[in-house]
Structure 1
Amino acid sequence: MQQSNFNLQPDFLENEIIKLIPLEEKHFEELYKVASDPLVWEQHPNKNRYERDVFRNFFEGAMESKGAFLILDKTTNEIAGSTRFYDYEPENNSIFIGYTFYGRNFWGTGFNPQVKKLMLDYAFQFVDKVRFHIGAENYRSQKAIEKLGAEKIDEINVAYYNEPSRHNFVYEIRKN
């Protein structure tokens, strides 16, 4: 039996080296330092998110979602990036995880699978399906999510907060 009161933004989720804390307005400058690297967005559908105004729009959407987190490296207290829960559908017993990005020094370090595991373990207390929108050209993210056992179930156009719609793949991981 699933619990019904899914809090999209618990006070924190953490393990030995990672802590997810609710994103707040005061985090903008520090997070923008991570996001201002053009290579972070190179395979992303919205390739210009490294620009301050474009990232400000992304950040505002994150704040409005009430499901966004700052990803912290507990060993160094360094900001690794951001992620969020969104589009909770109780009638479909599903939630999306996404809008995730990391600074390059966290690429290939095992951070992403650990963050996803924290989020999946939390989400599966409330839902049976976790889904992900991944840009059609974001091969790095597609490979990463497939390694976690996700299956591609659809292709759709997704319009992000005040941005044009882009071609995305939908991936899904089921609780069982």
Structure 2
Amino acid sequence: MSTSILNLQPEILENESVKLVPLKETDFETLYKVASDPLIWEQHPNKNRYEREVFKNFFEGAMESKGAFLIIDKKTNEVAGSTRFYDYEPENKSVFIGYTFYGRKYWGTGFNPQVKKMMFDYSFKAVDKIRFHIGAENYRSQIAIGKLGAKKIDEQEVAYYNEPSRYNFVYEIEK
């Protein structure tokens, strides 16, 4: 059993290709450039996150979470997207990973499994279960998380930061 406490925003997590850097207020414009593509959000429960005002709310929630990261392509130093840790429950030894999105040029490139592996390796030092909220219509993410070994364990309404509740599936990977 693990007994350490999970720091939701370590300085940097990285491998040879990808670097996760804690999100800062000054990253808004850079990240919005990636997020402003409507196709990124077409299967997401909140399909209008490509709109500046809606994304501003998403970004504010990311900052308040104190667990959000920029995903950086180390070869080009470009921002590939963002992800975060949230809803850490030390008593249940669980944490959620989510709010992840990538620019389309990173779809199918292997970035997502690399990012998730780094986050899993880091998290499993302190937790036994990692969970994910995935929109009921977000088939792309459901397939991706299934390939990583996650199993669907629940269905629930999820209220995203200052947004209406949406129907989500809950997936889980155990240590």
Q: Distance in 2 between matches of 1:4 and 1:144?
A: 29
**Residue 17, structure 1, aligned to residue 17, structure 2:** yes
Q: Distance in 2 between matches of 1:84 and 1:174?
A: 18
Superposition pairs of residues 10-159 of structure 1, within 5 angstroms: 10-159=10-159
Structure 1 residue runs without a partner (length 5+):
none
Structure 2 residue runs without a partner (length 5+):
none
2:152 alignment partner AA: K
2:31 alignment partner AA: L
Q: Secondary structure at the match of 2:169?
A: strand
- Structure-2-length-normalised TM-score: 0.99
1:60-97, CA deviations, whole angstroms, 9 ceiling, x for partnerless residues? 00000000000000000000000000000011110000
Q: Distance in 1 between matches of 2:162 and 2:173?
A: 28
Give the superposition deviation at 1:6: 1.1
Q: Secondary structure at the match of 1:114?
A: helix
CA RMSD of aligned residues (A): 0.5
Give the superposition deviation at 1:3: 3.5
Q: Secondary structure at the match of 1:62?
A: helix
Q: Secondary structure at the match of 2:155?
A: strand
Moved segments of 4+, more than 3 Å:
none
**Contact 2:4-2:125 at 8 Å conserved across structures:** no
What is the percentage of aligned positions where both structures have the same residue? 79
1:79 alignment partner AA: V
1:88-140, CA deviations, whole angstroms, 9 ceiling, x for partnerless residues? 00111100000000000000000000000000000000000000000000000
1:150 alignment partner AA: A
Q: Secondary structure at the match of 1:95?
A: strand
Q: Secondary structure at the match of 1:11?
A: coil
Q: Distance in 2 between matches of 1:68 and 1:19?
A: 13
Q: Distance in 2 between matches of 1:157 and 1:98?
A: 15
Q: Secondary structure at the match of 2:97?
A: strand
Aligned length: 175
**Contact 2:20-2:69 at 8 Å conserved across structures:** yes
Q: Distance in 1 between matches of 2:45 and 2:18?
A: 27
- Structure-1-length-normalised TM-score: 0.98
